[in-house]
Amino acid sequence: MPLLLLDLDNTLVDRDTAFRTAVADFLARHGLPDSELAWVTALDAGGYTARHEVTTALADRYGDMVPTTAIRALLDNGGADHVVLTPSSHEALSRARGDGWACVIVTNGRTVQQEAKIRNTGLDRLVQGWVISEAVGHKKPEPEIFHAAAATVGIPLPGAWIIGDSPHADIAGAERLGLRSVWVANGRPWSQDSYRPTHVANSVASAIGHAMRNPG
């Protein structure tokens, strides 16, 4: 059975848009100006800024205007209530499973938050498994998390495709393991010189389609 290892945030789901929506709701609820949205999302840096750093910066900026519990609630949720799975992504995953592929999500992040995204979008019914960095104690691009993903479905890792939007976490991870990869560009140019993806795609649906056409 061929194996697809798929990133979650900004690959299968648009994490950044969901987080912006959550932040906009947060600002409105606490009477803060809409102009703060750009500052908060820049601070978040697509989820790559350490959570404790974001918490401290928000608390320092908003002081007594916002309870610390509200800040923590925003970051604990991380937009999980707002993520959606596009019809094209749903169809591509369904087609891959129908054609005999094993699909496993491999994501960095906090277990509660990432599993909420997986369940809220119905991805739990479309993939055969998932691994989350907090749960396994390893983060992409470390090889161990990809081995753990393959182990969830009992399929050897060699021959798998890795699909994701992060050059460092996903594509460099594939490079280390000698695996084929598809980079979901999301409109960005490739800028790394020391390694490259096997293929570049504009969406996760087209990335899955490319892997399915090249199983061996």
At residue 55, φ and ψ (nearest 5 deg) are -60, -45
Name the burial class of residue 206, with classes exposed (0-12), middle (13-18) and buried (19+) by CB atoms within 10 angstroms of its CB.
middle
Q: What is the reported pTM?
A: 0.93
Please write the tens of the pLDDT for every residue from 155-189: 999 999 999 999 999 999 999 999 999 999 999 99
Domain spans of the chain?
Answer: 3-14+83-213, 16-77
Please write the tens of the pLDDT for every residue from 20-53: 999 999 999 999 999 999 999 999 998 889 999 9
Q: Does domain 3-14+83-213 have CATH number 3.60.20.10?
A: no
Other C-beta atoms lying within 10 Å of the C-beta of residue 46? 14
Please write the tens of the pLDDT for every residue from 83-107: 999 999 999 999 999 999 999 999 9
